[in-house]
Chains A and B, each alone.
Chain A
């Protein structure tokens, strides 16, 4: 099979990516700019722009040294993960030229354009188009085409316009993607260019430098094949159905949804994923689109369980003159591995999850909450409230001292002094204290600023009143005042 490989090398991919997003991007090339990362106990230059290079900076240099050279240096921390994502995006974009695109290291792409050149009026025009578009996007790029991957790489990384015409022979040996050790050894023997290396007998090279050098040479010359592994498309969780005749009954829509769900759930099962959010778009004959969104309380891919959850949404749809196009997409998915069903797993929790989904679609999934224990003495912070759909029940709950059943915002009562009042009024009731238990002193957590605890320490008392009510009151000694905060049974 004929091969024609295009190599794209982005020599300053990280800094170009950051400068593209910055406001200074327009003037980016005139001002020195570097990305830094922490290595070997100091901040070092990770990537730099052309202006910084012109001022004598280089990669791996300490940032403080670099600042001494040019005081107007601008720097940002490097994020290799974002760079990798950006390269993935570029790979996806490159599919406009050919379908066979692979990554090359962390800063390059390999395209097998065999059979796609004529679509762009020839290879030269195609390469010019790539160069033009990438440069307009603010990326500095080296592009070259060759018969093999190795040759294309060599031309992008070491090729100059003068050398390219002569082919590979005039390129330095480093262009063969050798490790630094072999490269140095070859240089020491006076083998400066690939041409020098090709002139030697193969057996000698292999004996002296191991199989690696001959392998790379063969790959560059095309004697040995090297694959470009194309990137797989990310799985798409969407299915659609077009109907010959419009439908309007909710039963028909549910039947169509059931068919879509089956296909979608099969897709999800293949990838070991579960849907967390589903979107059903119904297109009417008059081109109006209605959407039903379903947020699930747990990742799910069981069509029979999901279908009844759509009932409420489908019932609210206005079908107009009929619906002739349905599209179902899982807009949010989560990993859902196969689990062994045992006698210990209860089917009760499945029902509960379905219930949370149903309620969540009515009042919002965040509004179904559960309590999680928290490590704090402050009454309001001794537990956490978390959405039930995104948390699991935790225990155990340890209560060292009696706490009220109900908590409310502190309500002031009129009383003075550090001892609980004998008679007081609360919520328009006259109450008489019969027994008081306390005080239990709780200090505010100074490491978490909380406006409610500005009044300082609190001495909590449990008051048993003659009228029966058992109240949880506190006194603030630093800012005298009495407040009711809770009620026991």
Chain B
């Protein structure tokens, strides 16, 4: 009885996997020509995964005084550092202005804003309009709970400990949509595959 059941269960879990993958890929990459928000400790991993998925040049705008910096040796497994430009703005307003200019020009596919303080509805809406005009995607890395209502979607990305002993350099994360203007809220456990440069859903059953 049990031996007959096992292949059926395996195939069912495989179907679940494919379903979950499809589900993720219907949400990721999030709608282009909009700005989105991402928070949580793995927000930069989300940004690089998105940059890799969209291709083209990524402009990373941040305030010059921030101590953290992105490490090209680290994100080389996500996307080619040749395609990343960093803009150091003297202040918060300049970050927003530079990002708006870049979104509107359409010469870069993704503009990542490293924000340190919340932005209002007006600023968020301006970014949305600029993204629509330039047909590019904007992504705000925001501190927890400082989202703007103008954002199309908001994601929370947190790293998850990978108990699998065969994966010492794991990238297991939990991605949740915590705000969605046109759709439902979802959550996935995902992993970055450096070989194929693509995000993979890890089945819940396997966990």
**Which residues in A have some Cβ–Cβ distance to B below 8 Å?**
348, 351-352, 354-356, 358-359, 362-363, 367-371, 373, 379, 382-383, 385, 388, 393-395, 397, 399, 402-409, 434-435, 437, 462, 464-470, 486-489
Contact = CB atoms under 8 A, between A and B. Distances in A.
A371 to B, nearest CB: 4
A367 B159 contact: no
18 contacts: A351-B107, A355-B107, A359-B98, A362-B98, A367-B87, A368-B87, A370-B85, A373-B81, A379-B73, A393-B83, A397-B72, A403-B73, A435-B168, A437-B169, A469-B159, A489-B42, A489-B159, A489-B173
Given A351-B107, A355-B107, A468-B160, A486 B57 contact: no
Contact of A486 (B56, B74, B89, B105): B74
Given A355-B108, A405-B74, A464-B170, A395 B85 contact: no
Interface string B21-57: 0000000000000000000011011001000000011
A368 B85 contact: yes
Main secondary structure of the interface of B (DSSP, over half): mixed
Contacts of B42: 489
A302 to B, nearest CB: 16
A469 B159 CA distance: 6
B162 A363 contact: no
B107 A363 contact: no
A466 B59 CA distance: 33
Interface string B88-115: 1110001001100110011110000000
A468 B59 CA distance: 28
B68 A383 contact: no
A435 B71 CA distance: 23
Interface residues of B, number: 53
B86 A370 contact: yes
Contacts of A358: 101, 105
B187 interface: no
Contacts of A466: 161
B171 interface: yes
B82 interface: yes
A336 to B, nearest CB: 20
Contact of B41 (A371, A394, A487): A487
Interface in B162-207: 162-163, 168-171, 173, 192
A389 to B, nearest CB: 10
B123 interface: no
B82 A405 contact: no
Contacts, number: 147
Contact of B76 (A399, A407, A434, A469): A399
Closest 3 CB pairs of A and B: A489-B45, A351-B107, A468-B159
A393 B88 CA distance: 18
Contacts of B3: none
A388 B168 contact: no
B70 interface: yes
B107 A354 contact: yes
Given A358-B105, A394-B82, A408-B69, A468 B74 contact: no
Given A369-B85, A406-B69, A464-B170, A351 B161 contact: no
A412 to B, nearest CB: 14
Contacts of B73: 379, 382-383, 397, 399, 403
B84 interface: yes
A351 B105 contact: yes
Contact of A383 (B41, B64, B72, B88): B72
Contacts of B75: 405
A488 B160 CA distance: 12
Among A351, A356, A406, A489, max chain B CB count under 10 A is at: A489
Given A382-B73, A405-B75, A462-B169, 10 more contacts: A352-B57, A355-B102, A383-B71, A393-B82, A406-B74, A437-B168, A462-B168, A466-B161, A469-B159, A470-B170
A363 B71 contact: no
Given A352-B108, A405-B75, A489-B44, A371 B81 contact: yes
Contacts of A352: 57, 107-108
Given A355-B102, A362-B98, A469-B41, A379 B82 contact: no
B84 A489 contact: no
Contacts of A409: 67
A437 B162 CA distance: 13
Contacts of B161: 434, 464-468
A424 B69 CA distance: 24
Contacts of A379: 71, 73
B94 A362 contact: yes
B105 A369 contact: no
A112 B44 CA distance: 71
Contacts of A408: 67-69
Contacts of A363: 87-90, 94, 98
A369 B67 contact: no
Nearest to A347: B107
Contacts of A356: 85
A393 B72 CA distance: 13
